[in-house]
């Protein structure tokens, strides 16, 4: 078969491991020709390609980012977009496309399949771990490890100076990274988008901790966390070219308010893109490799319109329609019954 591959949306550790696995199983196991599209859908529309061979993918397993480049944006943004995708598939003699992407790219893949009958298969990726249908996405474990390492380091400087440190982590709609890194790093409080916070309550927890002689605290806040309505004014957020709110900054606001209301010396730290860059953990390399092998096998099974998913110990398939337009939120049992046990 001739199969196209693209990576869309934000980059994520493990993307190259997925591509490498598709290529390895495709070329050696199935005798396929795998073609990479550069810069996501732009590359498909403009036929910017690179041959993906076992040789070309050598050394890529531990490398972060994506050898194919990535973009946000969709062929549906342009009146000619879908026809161009269709023409690329036809003219290049492709049997189908494997789309490795997050909520946005998987929605595009789903629409191309359901409304235009194009042969596409999805592989879910995001460090945010918020895709419905899969127990986990690759990249998440790496992001949690990076955030946990940072929190471990911040504990010692916070303790030396008797400071509160507010660590902002990624998590646009869901607080998976914040909750896991908060548990793993021993945070005093974790603020997530699923559970609007009360800044008075946060300050009260910190005061109680001080009364017990614990003068250093770590507050973890997901970038998408918001205060309870009417409790704290959050400034308007910029919107990028694709209509996404540009997040990042709630940690500064929370740190300012804590400092002002409690008088405790408080500092913000924004981890930002550090969480998405660099080498994937062993766990993510294994998950990404399993997803890649399952994806090329599914292509040979004619499973268009599906995506590969992690279900318990297995890698399985689920319809793309299951994931689209939905968000996988943090399990409240994990947040309230486990993480919150350790809140001050
Ligand atoms: O979806 C993954 C993610 O890392 C989010 O946590 C974050 O809000 C967003 O991407 C940032 O994306 P961009 O690369 O567009 O700034």
CA of 95 from ligand 1 middle (Å) equals: 31
Provide CATH 3.40.50.460 ranges for the chain. Answer: 142-277
* Model pLDDT, residue 15: 98
Regarding the beta carbon of 11 and ligand 1, being less than 6 Å apart is answered no
* Model pLDDT, residue 311: 97
Alpha helices in the chain (DSSP H): 15-24, 40-46, 81-91, 103-116, 140-161, 176-185, 199-211, 250-262, 282-300, 320-323, 332-337
pLDDT at 266 over 80: yes
Regarding the beta carbon of 125 and ligand 1, being less than 6 Å apart is answered no
- Taking residues 325-343, report their average pLDDT: 96
Regarding the beta carbon of 102 and ligand 1, being less than 6 Å apart is answered yes
Question: What CA–CA distance (Å, rounded) separates 279 from 109?
Answer: 27
Provide the CB-side half-sphere exposure for 98 (13 A, CA): 35
Contact status, residue 65 vs residue 35, Cβ threshold 8 Å = no
Joined together, the tokens standing for residue 89 give 């598939």
Strand 217-222 vs strand 266-270: parallel, antiparallel, or unpaired?
unpaired
* Model pLDDT, residue 248: 67
Closest ligand 1 atom to Cα of 127: 2
Regarding the beta carbon of 178 and ligand 1, being less than 6 Å apart is answered no
Known catalytic residue at 331: no
Find the helix or strand (DSSP H, E) in which 56 lies.
none
* Res. 232 pLDDT band, cuts 50 70 90: confident
Contact status, residue 5 vs residue 19, Cβ threshold 8 Å = yes
* Res. 231 pLDDT band, cuts 50 70 90: confident
Regarding the beta carbon of 285 and ligand 1, being less than 6 Å apart is answered no
CA of 10 from ligand 1 middle (Å) equals: 6
CA nearest ligand 1 atom 8, residue: 172
Find the helix or strand (DSSP H, E) in which 61 lies.
none
Regarding the beta carbon of 270 and ligand 1, being less than 6 Å apart is answered no
Task: Kindly state the percentage of the chain with pLDDT values over 90.
Answer: 94
Contact status, residue 226 vs residue 251, Cβ threshold 8 Å = no
Backbone φ and ψ for 310, nearest 5 degrees, come out as -95, 125
Q: Is 117 helix (H, G, I), strand (E, B) or coil?
A: coil
CA of 118 from ligand 1 middle (Å) equals: 28
CATH number of 2-139+280-322: 3.40.50.450
Regarding the beta carbon of 170 and ligand 1, being less than 6 Å apart is answered yes
Q: Give the tens place of pLDDT for each residue, 169-215.
A: 999 999 999 999 999 999 999 999 999 999 999 999 999 999 999 99
- Dihedral sign for Cα 269, 288, 126, 3, please: positive
Q: What would the DSSP string read from start to end of 266-293?
A: EEEEE-GGGGTSSPPPHHHHHHHHHHHH
Beta-bridge partners for 51: 35
* Model pLDDT, residue 234: 84
Alpha helices in 163-281 (DSSP H): 176-185, 199-211, 250-262
CA nearest ligand 1 atom 15, residue: 10
* Model pLDDT, residue 317: 98
* Res. 235 pLDDT band, cuts 50 70 90: confident
Residues written for the chain: 344
Regarding the beta carbon of 303 and ligand 1, being less than 6 Å apart is answered no
Closest ligand 1 atom to Cα of 247: 8
Longest dimension (CA), the chain: 71
* Model pLDDT, residue 241: 73
* Model pLDDT, residue 48: 98
Contact status, residue 140 vs residue 334, Cβ threshold 8 Å = no
Question: What CA–CA distance (Å, rounded) separates 237 from 335?
Answer: 27
Q: Which of 11, 128, 130, 297 is catalytic?
A: 128
Q: Give the tens place of pLDDT for each residue, 108-161.
A: 999 999 999 999 999 999 999 999 999 999 999 999 999 999 999 999 999 999
Regarding the beta carbon of 339 and ligand 1, being less than 6 Å apart is answered no
Domain 142-277 homologous superfamily, CATH = Phosphofructokinase domain (3.40.50.460)
Closest ligand 1 atom to Cα of 275: 4
CA of 92 from ligand 1 middle (Å) equals: 32
Sheet holding 120-124, edge to edge: 49-52, 33-37, 2-7, 96-101, 120-124, 306-311, 314-319
Provide CATH 3.40.50.450 ranges for the chain. Answer: 2-139+280-322
**Mutation to probe ligand 1, out of 12, 142, 170, 222 (largest number of atoms < 8 A from CB):** 170
CA of 247 from ligand 1 middle (Å) equals: 8
Averaged confidence pLDDT in the chain: 96
Joined together, the tokens standing for residue 133 give 């249908």
Q: Is 189 helix (H, G, I), strand (E, B) or coil?
A: strand
Closest ligand 1 atom to Cα of 223: 8
Those residues with Cβ within 8 angstroms of residue 85's Cβ, 6 or more apart along the chain or in another chain: 41, 44, 45, 75, 112, 118
């Amino acid at each position: 078969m001739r199969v196209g591959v693209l990576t869309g949306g934000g980059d994520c550790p493990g993307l190259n491991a997925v591509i490498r696995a598709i290529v390895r199983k495709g070329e050696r196991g199935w005798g396929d020709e795998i073609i990479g599209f550069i810069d996501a859908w732009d590359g498909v529309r403009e036929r910017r390609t690179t041959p993906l061979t076992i040789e070309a993918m050598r050394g890529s397993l531990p490398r972060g980012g994506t050898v194919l480049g990535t973009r946000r944006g969709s062929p549906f943004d342009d009146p000619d977009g879908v026809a161009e995708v269709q023409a690329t598939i036809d003219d290049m003699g492709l049997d189908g496309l494997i789309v490795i992407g997050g909520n946005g790219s998987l929605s595009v893949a789903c629409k191309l399949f359901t409304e235009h009958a194009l042969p596409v298969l999805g592989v879910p990726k995001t460090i945010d771990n918020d895709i419905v249908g899969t127990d986990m996405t690759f990249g998440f474990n790496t992001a949690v490890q990076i955030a946990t390492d940072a929190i471990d380091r911040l504990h010692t400087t916070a303790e030396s100076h008797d400071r509160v440190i507010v660590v902002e982590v990624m998590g646009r709609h869901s607080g998976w990274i914040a909750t896991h890194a908060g548990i793993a790093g021993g945070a005093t409080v974790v603020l997530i988008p699923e559970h609007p916070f009360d800044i008075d309550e946060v300050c009260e927890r910190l005061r109680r901790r001080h009364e017990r002689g614990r003068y250093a605290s770590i507050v973890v806040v997901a970038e998408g966390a918001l205060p309870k309505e009417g409790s704290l004014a959050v400034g308007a957020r910029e919107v990028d070219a694709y209509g996404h709110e540009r997040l990042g900054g709630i940690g500064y606001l929370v740190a300012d308010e804590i400092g002002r209301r409690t008088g405790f010396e408080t500092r913000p730290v924004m981890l930002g893109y550090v969480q998405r860059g660099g080498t994937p953990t062993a766990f993510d390399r294994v998950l990404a490799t399993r997803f890649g092998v399952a994806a090329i096998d599914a292509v040979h099974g004619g499973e268009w319109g599906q995506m590969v998913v992690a279900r318990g110990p297995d890698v399985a398939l689920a319809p793309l329609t299951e994931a689209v337009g939905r968000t996988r939120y943090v399990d409240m049992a994990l947040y309230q019954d486990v993480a919150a046990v350790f809140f001050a």
